[in-house]
């Protein structure tokens, strides 16, 4: 329940879907009950298919590029 309140506060929206890479930790009975109470739908992705995870991959790539640019601009050693 804590994660739900945290997410709602951060994005100021209701959680509608929860996506998972088909891990077993999201099949817990307590989480199932919480999802049913708050009308949160579960969407399982097929494992080993990066096509289904394109938005996250692009976002991670964008963040990594920004971090590299920041490190280059402060002239820190390449080891970092």
> How much of the chain, in percent, has pLDDT values that exceed 70?
79
The 10s digit of each residue's pLDDT in 19-58 is 776 666 666 777 788 888 888 888 777 776 766 667 777 8
Domains along the sequence of the chain with CATH: 2-73 (3.30.420.10)
Q: Which is more confidently placed, 2 or 73?
A: 73
Strands 41-44 and 17-20: parallel
How does DSSP classify residue 40? Answer: P
Backbone phi and psi for residue 13, each to the nearest 5 degrees, phi listed first? -145, 165
Predicted model pTM = 0.46
């Amino acid at each position: 329940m804590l994660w739900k309140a945290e997410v709602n506060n951060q994005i100021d929206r209701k959680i509608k879907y929860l996506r998972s890479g088909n891990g077993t930790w999201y099949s817990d009975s307590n989480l199932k009950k919480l999802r049913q109470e708050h009308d949160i739908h579960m969407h399982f992705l097929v494992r080993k298919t990066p096509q289904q995870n394109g938005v996250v991959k692009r976002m991670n790539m964008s963040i990594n590029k920004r971090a590299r640019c920041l490190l280059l601009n402060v002239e820190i050693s390449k080891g970092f």
